[in-house]
């Protein structure tokens, strides 16, 4: 369907019933106790974005939304009851994965018919949407020096002579030492660092280390066949001779790099060169009704134009993974996704947690009750096309079309993995108002409701709340796809205008800190 559901016709608070089999509706408007809505009388106040029962649900029976199970009644629920954490809870249940049963060949437009944008074509063949110089760090101990280098370049005014460079970014993190040199955590950090250095939105890279850390720069360079060049330089504080000398050396290296990086010019390239990261944060009861399906519609357009979209946040597809395995190109692709889900179940169990630790208090205040409900809405960002590949965190994405990358649900960590995978653009939906930006990859913020769009107008790029007032999912998808092309061509997003992105580089830290 092109609409998120059917709006009830009787006068009074608006509600949405998203599937015929649902036993709850979503309140578009707040419903007062005693008010008639969706053909039943509300027995309690139901806030905007929250759920009201429209059929009896016995204790232990499933609560259904989107035509799917989102939880189980912990007590008898009557029509008109507010359905939330006080009477609905998460529980595991068997799901039919039906591997590849809905896979289909996706027609891609001929090159001459594809949409285009203005991007930076790199020597690697990849295309950037921005042209940054990054100051990477091998360890937290060199983080301050990296910040000093970037700040000194900005303060000096030397960038003024190079208008084709978007800036110098210090990309610092809190790990790099006290770790197993042969463990999973080390490999994840190595992939992440390489992914950022190789991201097409980077025109040049300086990497700074301390010298004695576990994550040795020489070993990193050897692993990826890197050599010093006019766009890649490295320093260690201990070898150069301390903080001041390393800052001076880093600034001098960037000064030499600037004219080389500034030679890059935008040229017309097909939309098939876009690799878009999909994120949602601060989700609410509208996320799965407005912004996420609208972004999914834009993703379908992107795939038709030959581009790539990366769905991630594994804990936030938990309970919806059976919808993705059906769309897997092959059984092997689907099984890889399910194996990752099983890893997360074991990971949370050994840390004495639960997959239902997500949603957050803010998600629940916005109307989301369980991780099952949140995931069903979050998965809508991935549109409807075939799932062509599944990647581990920060692996280089090489497949075209719709793909999945394993990441945590925590947005900065998730987006870091996607950018390391090669994403040159990011779309981020939010209902509660996540304050987020990303460098070197620009982030387009999509508000799930018009209220948060108006209140946080300086942070939000697109209002998806008007879907509740009759704008179609298809029309909003067209609007988002057009924004992707404009931003990819250089139009600045709200988060870029605010200066977000330096602090949002957060590699996933796995394993023991020794």
* 335 DSSP assignment: H
Please give the pLDDT value at position 354: 83
Look at the domain 6-89 and name its fold: 2.30.130
The yes-or-no verdict on residue 48 having pLDDT over 90 is: yes
Q: Note whether 291 and 353 are within 8 A (CB).
A: no
Whole-angstrom distance, CA of residue 17 vs CA of residue 46: 15
Reported as a pLDDT band with limits 50, 70 and 90, residue 11 is low
Q: What token pair was written down for 20? A: 């015929």
Helix (H) or strand (E) holding 203: strand 202-209
Tell me the pLDDT band of 356, cut-offs 50, 70 and 90.
Answer: confident
Contact yes or no for 30/47 (Cβ under 8 A): yes
The CATH number given to 132-261 is: 3.40.1400
User: 3 pLDDT band (50/70/90 cuts)?
Assistant: very low
**Rounded to the nearest 10 degrees, what angle do helices 473-488 and 291-304 cross at?**
60
Do the beta carbons of residue 30 and residue 13 sit within 8 Å? yes
- Residue 2 has what pLDDT? 40
Tell me, what's the pLDDT at 8? Answer: 45
pLDDT tens by residue, 154-206:
999 999 999 999 999 999 999 999 999 999 999 999 999 999 999 999 999 99
Contact residues for 102 (Cβ-Cβ < 8 A; gap 6+): 326, 327
Label residue 1 by pLDDT band (50, 70, 90).
Answer: very low
Q: Is the peptide bond before 440 cis (omega within 30 degrees of 0)?
A: yes
Beta-carbon contacts of residue 203 (< 8 Å; ≥ 6 apart): 120, 128, 131, 132, 133, 165, 231, 261, 264
Mean pLDDT of all residues in 268-290: 96
What pLDDT does residue 4 have? 52
Least confident of 266-280, 351-365, 434-448: 351-365
Q: How far, in Å, CA of 428 to CA of 422, rounded?
A: 17
Q: DSSP of 125-181, one letter per residue?
A: S-EES--EEEEEESSGGGHHHHHHHHHHHHHHTGGGG-TT--EEEEE--S-SSSS-T
Average pLDDT, the chain: 95
List pLDDT tens digits, range 93-142.
999 999 999 999 889 999 999 999 999 999 999 999 999 999 999 999 99
Residue 312's pLDDT band (boundaries 50, 70, 90)? very high
Q: Cα 105 from chain centroid?
A: 26
């Amino acid at each position: 369907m092109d609409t998120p559901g059917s709006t009830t016709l009787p006068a009074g608070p608006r509600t949405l019933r998203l599937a015929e089999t649902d036993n709850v509706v979503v309140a578009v408007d707040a419903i007062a106790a005693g008010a008639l809505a969706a053909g039943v009388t509300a027995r309690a106040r139901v806030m905007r974005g929250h759920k009201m029962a429209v059929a009896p649900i016995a204790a232990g029976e499933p609560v259904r939304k989107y035509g799917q199970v989102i939880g189980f009644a912990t007590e008898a629920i009557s029509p008109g009851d507010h359905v939330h954490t006080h009477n609905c809870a998460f529980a595991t249940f068997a799901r039919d994965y039906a591997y590849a049963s809905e896979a289909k060949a996706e027609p891609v437009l001929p090159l001459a018919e594809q949409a285009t944008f203005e991007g930076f074509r790199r020597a690697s063949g990849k295309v950037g949407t921005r042209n940054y110089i990054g100051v990477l760090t091998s360890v937290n101990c060199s983080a301050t020096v990296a910040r000093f280098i970037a700040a000194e370049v900005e303060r000096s005014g030397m960038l003024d002579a190079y208008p084709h460079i978007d800036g110098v970014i210090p990309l610092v993190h809190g790990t790099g030492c006290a770790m197993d040199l042969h463990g999973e955590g080390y490999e994840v950090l190595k992939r992440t660092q390489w992914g950022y250095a190789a991201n097409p939105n980077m025109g040049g890279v300086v990497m700074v280390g301390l010298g004695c850390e576990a994550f040795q720069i020489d070993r990193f360079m050897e692993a990826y066949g890197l050599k010093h060049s006019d766009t890649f330089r490295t320093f260690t504080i201990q070898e150069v001779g301390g903080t001041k000398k390393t800052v001076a050396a880093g600034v001098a290296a960037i000064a030499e790099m600037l004219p080389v990086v500034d030679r890059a010019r935008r040229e017309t390239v097909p939309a098939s060169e876009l690799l878009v990261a999909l994120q949602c944060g601060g989700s609410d009861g509208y996320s799965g009704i407005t912004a996420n399906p609208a972004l999914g519609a834009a993703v379908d357009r992107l795939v038709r134009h030959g581009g790539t979209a990366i769905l991630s946040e594994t804990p936030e597809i938990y309970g919806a993974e059976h919808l993705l395995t059906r769309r897997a190109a092959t059984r092997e692709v689907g099984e890889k996704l399910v194996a990752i889900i099983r890893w997360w179940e074991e990971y949370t169990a050994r840390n004495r947690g639960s997959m239902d630790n997500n949603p957050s208090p803010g998600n629940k205040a916005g109307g989301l009750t369980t991780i099952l409900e949140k995931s069903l809405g979050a998965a809508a960002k991935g549109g409807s096309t075939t799932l062509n590949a599944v990647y581990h965190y920060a692996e280089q994405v090489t497949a075209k079309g719709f793909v999945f990358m394993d990441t945590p649900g925590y947005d900065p960590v998730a987006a870091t993995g996607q950018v390391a995978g090669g994403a040159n653009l990011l779309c981020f939906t939010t209902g509660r108002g996540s304050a987020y930006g990303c460098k070197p990859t620009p982030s387009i913020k999509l508000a799930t409701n018009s209220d948060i769009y108006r209140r946080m107008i300086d942070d939000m790029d697109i209002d998806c709340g008007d879907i509740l007032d009759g704008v179609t999912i298809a029309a909003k998808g067209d609007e988002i796809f057009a924004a992707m092309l404009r931003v990819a061509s250089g139009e600045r997003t709200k988060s870029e205008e605010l200066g977000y992105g330096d602090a949002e580089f957060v590699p996933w830290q796995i394993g023991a800190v020794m």
